[in-house]
Amino acid sequence: MRSLNQALAYRQFGADHGQPVIYFHGTPGGPDECEVFDRYGKEHNLSIVCYDRSAIDPQLQGDAYYRLIAEEITAKAAGKPVDFIGFSIGAFIALQVCRAMNGNVRSLHLVSAAAPLDAGNFIDTAAGKAVFRLAQSNPSAFLWLARLQGLIARGFPGLLFNMLFSSAAGEDQALVADTAFRTTITRALKTCFSRHPQAYARDIEAYVQPWKESLPDIAATTCIWHGAEDNWSPVSMAVYLESALPNCSKITILDGLSHYSCLYQSAPTICRLIKSLE
């Protein structure tokens, strides 16, 4: 677990000394997700950093949690412009950290983003609706579920992968059958659950609370990438975020793609767009 006087744990992909880009992994998820950007980061001289949020003390909550990440990013960027990529519920964390960065984020890319549940009737069409409702109504029971998932992740990681991807839709079904994808995501799940289930629970419990009122404060130029067949973050979430974010310049809906397949297909284009800002 990360104490407050130590640097945040992270993994870096892409170029060794390129333009700094921060990737916010999903929940559940971990830095291994960011491997998909490694090749494209090298091609475009981008240093893509993913902080391991599961290693941050779970007692750190709310704005103090977002400020800690923002301070670490500011130190890492060392005065250079910084760009954000947020995936799934990691998009929610990216948006909150964006607010804490006080306008010092050049561009923000939201991929398969989870929108605020208080902004519409999204929960009924989301594959994770039972988990979200449990986190909203009974946080103690939700934490018990997180601990159970942690036990499964440590002892039977393949089983946890199969449980989470049992509802895979669109091109995600092809990814689930891919050995490299299974290996990468299984490692990410083990990282997420093996340290402290409360760190995983922190992101989920914060996400299910009302937060739509924070969106007008996001100053960064934003692009949204979403799969038309996404059943984890329904496409209506992307449509809402486009309308609610004041500087959303582009929304791309990708036919036939779902949650992770959208991430994998959009990765090269996102890196190319970030490079073009220099």
Domain residue extents for the chain = 10-276
CA–CA gap between residue 212 and residue 254 (Å, rounded)? 25
The ranges of the chain with pLDDT < 70 are 1-6, 195
Measured N-to-C along each axis, helices 139-155 and 129-137 cross at an angle, to the nearest 10 degrees, of 130
Note the pLDDT of residue 3. Answer: 40
Determine contact, residues 77/53, Cβ cutoff 8 Å: no
CB 65 within 8 A of CB 4: no
**Other CB atoms within 10 A of residue 64 CB:** 11
Alpha carbon dihedral 262, 277, 17, 30, in 10-degree steps, equals: -20
- Domain covering 10-276 in this structure, CATH number: 3.40.50.1820
Tokens of 167: 């509802």
Q: How far apart (Å, rounded) are the C-alpha atoms in residues 53 and 97? A: 12
**Amino acid (1-letter code) at residue 96:** Q
Q: How far apart are the first and last CA of the chain?
A: 36
- Neighbour count for residue 252 (Cβ, 10 Å): 16
* Res 1: pLDDT: 37
What is the pLDDT at residue 102?
A: 87
The pLDDT, as a whole number, for residue 191 is 84
Write down the pLDDT at residue 123: 86
- Are 224 and 247 spatial neighbours (Cβ–Cβ below 8 Å)? no
Model's pTM, two decimal places? 0.94
